[in-house]
Structures are given as structure tokens and as C-alpha cells.
Amino acid sequence: MQKGVPQIMDITSIRSVLHYLTKTILPTKFETAQQPDPNTLQLCFRGINSQTWLEVSWNGDSPRILKIKKPEKIGRESTLSKQIRYGLKYMALISIDQDNFERVIKFGFAKKPGEEISKYLIFELMGKHSNIFYLDNKHKIIAAGKQIKSSQC
């Protein structure tokens, strides 16, 4: 493998990362989001004693979710990161779900732990079909990583 090229995550590595995240960042407060490139989102969560940064990429060549060190703050803001940052402000990440061998990950957010989930981030890490969706409590799409034109439906 070439140096600097991320490895494609299979179901085993995704489940391993989610197992670790479930134990270390549930529940945590959503802090911020930034989008360093068109197919990558960086999310920050604050716990009682720590701050955790996650990077999620829906790039067709190497979709992934992983814990990262605190990244550089980027200058220009994307619409997606603004929508997520505004919509999840003051909310807590209270659940991380993945069904069996699916490469779909569902983050659930509520006003505080113990309350009903009111927002979701859905990550589909499926090669060229990868995407991210930001949903309300009725599963209505608020924003998506890959925009689909009406002519593509």
C-alpha cells in the first residue's frame, strides 16, 4: 500500500472502531463540525474529562470513520458543517447503532442523556455509494453529503 493512502475499512474494522467509540464517547456533548474537503467531515465531542475528534469520509475510494487528533481549524465553512453545527448545538450523542453486517452507522442525538432522540447522523460507508445524512426525529433529511439532482432520481 502506498504511503499516505488510507486503507479501505471493511466490516470488521468498522465494528472494531464502533465498539471502541461506544465505550469511550457515550454520552458526550456535540461540540463542533468542520469539513476539510467535500467528502470528509470532522466532528468534535466533549466528555467530562476529554475531547474526542472523529473523522468520517464518504469518499468512494476510501470511506472511513476513525478517531483523530485535534485538526487544524479550517478557514472557509461548508454549508453541511454549518447545518450540522447549528442543528446539533447543545445536544448530546447518546447512541451509536449498526445492524449486523451493514456498513451503515447511526448516531443518535438528544437534548440530554435519557431523553428521546431528536436528530440523527447516518453514515453509509459503502465504497462509491457512501454518503452521510443529517435527519430529524421523523427521519426527514435535513442535509446530505452528496447532493443528488432531480434528474438523477
Between 93 and 77, the more confident residue is: 93
112 within some domain: yes
Note the pTM of the prediction, 2 decimals: 0.87
Number of domains the chain contains = 1
For residue 30, name the pLDDT band (cuts at 50, 70, 90): very high
Q: What is the pLDDT of residue 75?
A: 60
- As a whole number, mean pLDDT of residues 61-82 equals 86
Q: Which domain holds residue 78?
A: 11-146
Residue 2 pLDDT grade (very low, low, confident, very high; cuts 50, 70, 90): very low
What pLDDT shows up at residue 145?
A: 84
43 φ, ψ (degrees, to nearest 5):
-120, 140
| Residue 76: band (very low, low, confident or very high) from pLDDT cuts 50, 70, 90 | low
Residues in the chain: 153
Per-residue pLDDT band at 113 (split at 50, 70, 90): very high
For the domain that residue 99 is a member of, what is the CATH number?
2.30.310.10
Phi (first) and psi of residue 11, to 5 degrees: -60, -35
Q: Is residue 2 part of a domain?
A: no
**CA–CA dist 107, 118 (Å, integer):** 11
Q: Is residue 6 part of a domain?
A: no
pLDDT at 3 over 60: no
Handedness of CA 65, 82, 150, 138 (dihedral sign): positive
Q: Is the pLDDT of residue 130 over 60?
A: yes
Average pLDDT over residues 89-106: 90
Q: What is the pLDDT of residue 153?
A: 47
Whether 153 is covered by a domain: the verdict is no
| Whole-number Å distance between alpha carbons of 137 and 150 | 24
Average pLDDT, the chain: 86
